[in-house]
Structure 1
Amino acid sequence: MNAMQKNTDAFVQLGAFMAQFGTEVPVRNESVAHNDLFYEAFKKQLQLAETHNGWFTPSNLAFALDQWGAALRRENLLDWLSAYPLEKATPQRIAVIMAGNIPLVGFHDFMSVLLCGHSVIVKQSSNDRHLLPFLAKYLEHVNPGFRGKIRFTEDRIEDYDAVIATGSNNTARYFEYYFGKKPHIIRKNRNSVAVLNGSETPDRLEALGEDIFRYFGLGCRNVSKLFVPEHYDFDILFRAVYPYKDIIEIQKYANNYDYNKAVYLMSLFKLQDNGFLMLKEDESYASPIATLFYETYSDPRGLQEKLREDAEHIQCIVAEGFPDSGIPFGHTQKPGLKDYADEVDTVDFLLKI
């Protein structure tokens, strides 16, 4: 087995390990390698992650691990990587600066660097610092070839050949200044939208609730804005997403709901509200927690052109029967390995530096 095969096999084994934690009550699989060393210890890391970051609920942690467990099956990895000449890569030192808005949000970058044969220098967000270092230890145990190729740091990053950095529009300016002279991918704020035509079934709209509420709407793939036909009946939407009502029982979400509602009411903004989600007509794409912005449209072709013009602000478009094909309802937080952030092919970048 060559190095590339060993690297791929290590991630397959890691996926099987992660899949055990894909439910709120983990289910141990005795066929998974090295559980005797890592299983109970990772349960403790999950507890630490939840304690450290109130947005990392057991449900959202389990969802993230379930998605990665499914993605890292051998057939998925081989299908993804078969398009690239990995054997031609020249080993480099790649700095990866991660966001911390949702659990393991930087994992795809981390994995891509290692599968391309490079070394990775990881600077994590303080909001998500417990899971990835532990999973990296599992990888190193499965494949000793990764030892010495994975480094985590909280210090200023130096001695690197290229960088992948994810952050806000404000931090992106800093990233451009500091890293701009080296090969780089720098990601800024993006949000996702849904286009409704008024004929969606209750099941489709309930699935849209997953795109809105998963991770409390904190991910760039979460729907933060709707485009609806003129005179759209929002009661239909509110009835469909009612099963997500218990989200208001999460204290951090409730605090944001109360605060944003108070601000809107004091500003005399017109709102529609169902007790756990507010709808506000607004041209912006980035809505606050517990708020969904919307705009109306009359011409689908005109809306299509608007979305093309605003593409740099948009991560995903959820739609059915819209002129451009969109992501199915309920699937924004279920990306495949080929679904690159900002549509920038990370592996292609890593192979050409």
Structure 2
Amino acid sequence: MGKIQHRIDAFVKLGQFLSQFSRESIEKKENIEFNDLFFDGFKHQLKVAEEYNSWFTKENLMFACENWAEALSEENIKKWISTKYLNENEPKIVAIIMAGNIPLVGFHDFLSVLISGHSVLVKQSSNDKHLLPYLAKYLEYVNPNFKGKISFTEEKLEGFDAVIATGSNNTARYFEYYFKGKPNIIRKNRNSVAVLTGNETEQDFESLSEDVFRYFGLGCRSVSKLFVPRNYDFDNFFRGLYNKQEIINNAKYANNYDYNKAVYLMSEFDILENGFLMIKEDASYASPIASVFYEYYDNADDLKIKLYEDRERIQCIVANNFIDNEIKFGQTQHPQLWDYADGVNTLKFLSEI
């Protein structure tokens, strides 16, 4: 356990470092290792990330830091890796192709590879390229054994033993062909759904607003589709989501809202809207920004069958005592370390390469 413990310690220290950056405040604390070297620099990187990508608002960047600070406790990491899948196998080089839809979206894969004792070769998205290299430098300071085990490239990936790649359904086809000779995890588009029964409270809908609007709905854990009983009254839904009305003040979001509304109106689609969100009856799972699709259901058992049949397209199901493995209202953006994307156990994969 010796080497593993050193790696755990490094990520715990990284979590403590990140705990200084929250939505409430950015505040330098005492007793954080190498803080004088890294605190101001990371503060600057956050500002650069915000200026570079206008979806990466300060609020969302701080939310991501908060989440990772919370996740990287010693208790959480030990609970996560207490499975039989972590062992001191011969280290391999694992390439990670990261998405860039939300801040630090590829961090879990990065963490999984390093905690497993492998080396990581990262190809970042141009949309999210400022934060991770800086945090990697911090890790190398707190655990010098990571030096030489973390590399970033913008070139063609070469010299790796396995790959974890995240992209759209189109890029996934390319990845599957290109990496077919290597052990791989290829992630495709997924969306999250909420099942409403008509018994929800106003608090449920206020919580759901976080699942819908966090990261402007750009994450795979963002709710983009509702399943509602026939003749459902959306008044309470809209009332509960009204606390997120400020989102329309983001210029990029407002542009998408105006554009998608114009498209819907010109196509003569029936939509309901409240000035910052549109809902439209649609069988698809992936809704455009500033809109959520909905679909009626007549029978709970039939809906459960449908959700099972479509499981490859669904990341999370938000519900209240409706189905196994559901997520509570308001919790989709707070995954635990053991909540694997697409349900694929990354540690198990990394133990077998």
TM-score, normalised via structure 1 length = 0.99
Q: Given that residues 253 and 290 in structure 2 are in contact (C-alpha distance below 8 angstroms), is that contact kept between their aligned partners in structure 1?
A: yes
Distance 2:112 2:306 in 1: 33
In structure 2, the residue matched to 1:168 is 168
In structure 2, the residue matched to 1:293 is 293
In structure 2, the residue matched to 1:343 is 343
Distance 2:91 2:42 in 1: 30
In structure 2, the residue matched to 1:65 is 65
Distance 1:25 1:178 in 2: 44
Q: Given that residues 88 and 117 in structure 2 are in contact (C-alpha distance below 8 angstroms), is that contact kept between their aligned partners in structure 1?
A: no
Amino acid at match of 2:47: Q
Deviations 1:201-257 (A, max 9, x none): 000111000000000000000000000011111111101110100000000000000
In structure 2, the residue matched to 1:240 is 240
Q: Which moved more, 1:87-96 or 1:225-234?
A: 87-96
SS at match of 1:56: coil
In structure 2, the residue matched to 1:200 is 200
Return the offset for 1:152.
0.1
Amino acid at match of 1:337: L
In structure 2, the residue matched to 1:23 is 23
Q: Given that residues 300 and 323 in structure 1 are in contact (C-alpha distance below 8 angstroms), is that contact kept between their aligned partners in structure 2?
A: no
Q: Given that residues 276 and 290 in structure 1 are in contact (C-alpha distance below 8 angstroms), is that contact kept between their aligned partners in structure 2?
A: yes
Return the offset for 1:19.
1.2
In structure 2, the residue matched to 1:153 is 153
SS at match of 1:88: coil
Deviations 1:80-113 (A, max 9, x none): 1111353332200000000000000000000000
Return the offset for 1:27.
1.7
Deviations 1:112-159 (A, max 9, x none): 000100000000000000000000000000000000000000000011
In structure 2, the residue matched to 1:138 is 138
SS at match of 1:100: coil
Any stretches of 5+ residues in structure 2 without a counterpart? none
Q: Is residue 259 of structure 1 aligned with residue 251 of structure 2?
A: no
Deviations 1:283-318 (A, max 9, x none): 000000000000011100000000000000000000
Return the offset for 1:346.
0.2
Q: Given that residues 95 and 157 in structure 1 are in contact (C-alpha distance below 8 angstroms), is that contact kept between their aligned partners in structure 2?
A: yes
Distance 2:205 2:243 in 1: 11
In structure 2, the residue matched to 1:332 is 332
Any stretches of 5+ residues in structure 1 without a counterpart? none
Return the offset for 1:54.
0.3
Q: Is residue 215 of structure 1 aligned with residue 203 of structure 2?
A: no
Q: Given that residues 80 and 338 in structure 2 are in contact (C-alpha distance below 8 angstroms), is that contact kept between their aligned partners in structure 1?
A: yes
Distance 1:136 1:274 in 2: 43
Return the offset for 1:173.
1.0
Return the offset for 1:324.
3.1
Distance 1:325 1:138 in 2: 36
Identity %: 63
Return the offset for 1:323.
3.7
Cα 1:91–1:325 change in 2 (3 A) is closer
SS at match of 1:269: coil
Q: Given that residues 304 and 324 in structure 1 are in contact (C-alpha distance below 8 angstroms), is that contact kept between their aligned partners in structure 2?
A: no
Deviations 1:235-282 (A, max 9, x none): 111011101000000000000000000000000000000000000000
Distance 2:28 2:239 in 1: 38
In structure 1, the residue matched to 2:42 is 42
Q: Is residue 100 of structure 1 aligned with residue 100 of structure 2?
A: yes
Q: Given that residues 85 and 347 in structure 2 are in contact (C-alpha distance below 8 angstroms), is that contact kept between their aligned partners in structure 1?
A: no
SS at match of 1:86: coil
Distance 1:77 1:168 in 2: 29
Q: Given that residues 24 and 59 in structure 1 are in contact (C-alpha distance below 8 angstroms), is that contact kept between their aligned partners in structure 2?
A: no
SS at match of 2:83: coil
In structure 2, the residue matched to 1:13 is 13
Amino acid at match of 1:342: D
Distance 1:46 1:2 in 2: 34
Distance 1:87 1:211 in 2: 36
Deviations 1:37-70 (A, max 9, x none): 0000000000000001000000000000000000
In structure 1, the residue matched to 2:282 is 282
Q: Given that residues 319 and 325 in structure 1 are in contact (C-alpha distance below 8 angstroms), is that contact kept between their aligned partners in structure 2?
A: no
SS at match of 1:241: helix
Distance 1:204 1:62 in 2: 24
Distance 1:129 1:162 in 2: 22
SS at match of 1:158: coil
Q: Given that residues 225 and 286 in structure 1 are in contact (C-alpha distance below 8 angstroms), is that contact kept between their aligned partners in structure 2?
A: yes
Amino acid at match of 2:321: G
Q: Which moved more, 1:18-27 or 1:206-215?
A: 18-27
TM-score, normalised via structure 2 length = 0.99
